[in-house]
């Protein structure tokens, strides 16, 4: 593990005498009428690493409330039979040598790294996810990049689903998009021939059965919902087998209501029985538009300058017609690209997500 914060070096005796003489010379300090200079290491020295560490705990429920971590890095180590909740955004989190723990980690701007852990159940949102030398971890995951496991066995993954009022802003503070989630696209660095070190949790898996709501009075103040319909992250099928050969692509362009419109379409399509396979939020250039939107590109190129697009893939018999009718009924005043026909829909989906994966380095 890396060092949390550097310590201030104590000045030498000669340095102390020089500092004591400076106010008399009118250079610094109150005697000179000037404030002492402030340095970044002075600010870091005020942060106590113990406030950002859970270590050596057994049979305890512990956590941090919203606003208490505020983008710092965090360490969890040598904990057993514990329930641990980080209801805030952080820089990075390492989890080492933990056994039979239930862990919730709010949005992590960088990496989450599990090492030498076993029999843990987790809910995690992060930019990068990695495990090494772990056994039997069950993880509801939101990860912006491809999750990686190494020398790990018995790993199970599901789509992140959670809500509390501060969570949306925490995702923003961590620089994470709720639409970029590759939870099921696992890369195994150390595959074993004839064996599979990882799999997917059952579709019927209920988050609260794996990571229960906190029992301590302090943490009960967080207004949590594990209802999938309220999840801050849209619930996607990921790499589960599709129920139909027919998929449809819908793309919303940047604007004041892009996220709300995308969520509305998800609700409408889900209500009609269609399944959300995957989502993406990514910047596009004019040359990208020609590749993805083809003959419709000229219509949408001016909209790309406003910001990233949000793309949704729906699956199910009649998905194209269902999406087109929903767009016409609910979003008649909004510019949306939607697959024109069943014949072109599959190619539309492939074109967009191949482009998006290249942009995101996957």
Contacts of 154 (CB under 8 A, 6+ apart): 135, 136, 137, 197
Residue 141 CB: number of other CB atoms within 10 A? Answer: 24
Residue 129 among known ligand-binding residues: yes
Question: Is 110 labeled as ligand-binding?
Answer: yes
Dihedral sign (CA 223, 225, 229, 231)? positive
The answer to whether 346 is a known ligand-binding residue is no
Q: Of all helices (H) and strands (E), which one includes residue 128?
A: strand 118-132
Q: Is 128 known as a binding-site position? A: yes
Q: Which candidate, 198, 94, 118, 183, places its Cα nearest to that of 144?
A: 183
Biggest CA–CA distance in the chain, Å, is 84
- Cα 298 to Cα 38: distance, rounded to the nearest angstrom: 53
Q: Within 13 Å of residue 201, how many CA atoms lie on the same side as its CB?
A: 22
Pairing of strands 275-282, 198-200: unpaired
* Residue 130, marked binder: yes
Identify whether the C-beta of residue 276 lies closer than 8 Å to the C-beta of residue 316. no
Instruction: Indicate the angle between helix axes 342-359 and 286-293, nearest 10 degrees.
Output: 150
Q: Is 135 annotated as a binding residue?
A: no
Annotated binding site: 110-111, 127-130
Annotated binding site for GTP: 110-111, 127-130
């Amino acid at each position: 593990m890396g060092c949390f914060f550097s310590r201030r070096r104590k000045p030498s005796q000669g340095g102390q005498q020089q500092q004591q003489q400076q106010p008399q010379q009118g250079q610094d300090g109150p005697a000179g009428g000037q404030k002492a200079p402030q340095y970044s290491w002075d600010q870091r020295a005020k942060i106590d690493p113990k406030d950002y560490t859970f270590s050596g705990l057994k049979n305890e429920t512990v956590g941090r409330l919203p606003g208490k971590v505020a983008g710092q890095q965090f360490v969890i180590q040598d904990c057993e039979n514990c329930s641990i909740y980080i209801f805030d955004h952080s820089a990075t989190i390492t989890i080492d040598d933990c056994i039979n723990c239930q862990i919730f980690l709010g949005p992590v701007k960088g990496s989450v790294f599990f090492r030498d852990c076993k029999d843990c159940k987790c809910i995690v949102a992060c930019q990068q996810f990695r495990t090494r030398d772990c056994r039997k971890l069950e993880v509801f995951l939101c990860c912006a990049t491809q999750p990686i496991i190494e020398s790990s066995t018995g790993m199970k993954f599901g789509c992140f689903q959670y809500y509390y009022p501060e969570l949306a802003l925490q995702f923003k503070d961590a620089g994470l998009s709720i639409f970029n989630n590759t939870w099921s696209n696992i890369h195994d660095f150390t595959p074993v021939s004839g064996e599979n070190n990882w799999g997917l949790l059952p579709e019927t898996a209920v988050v609260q059965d794996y990571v229960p709501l906190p029992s301590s009075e302090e943490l009960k103040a967080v207004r949590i919902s594990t209802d999938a319909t309220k999840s801050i992250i849209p619930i996607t099928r990921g790499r589960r087998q599709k129920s139909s050969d027919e998929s449809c692509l819908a793309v919303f362009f940047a604007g004041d209501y892009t996220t709300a419109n995308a969520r509305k379409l998800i609700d409408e399509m889900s209500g009609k029985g269609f399944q959300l396979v995957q989502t993406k939020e990514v910047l596009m250039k004019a040359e990208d538009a020609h590749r993805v939107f083809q003959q419709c590109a000229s219509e949408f190129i001016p909209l790309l300058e406003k910001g990233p697009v949000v793309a949704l893939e729906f699956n199910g018999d009649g998905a194209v017609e269902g999406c087109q009718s929903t767009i016409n009924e609910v979003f008649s005043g909004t510019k949306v690209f939607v697959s024109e026909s069943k014949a072109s829909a599959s190619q539309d989906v492939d074109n967009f997500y191949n482009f998006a994966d290249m942009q995101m380095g996957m």
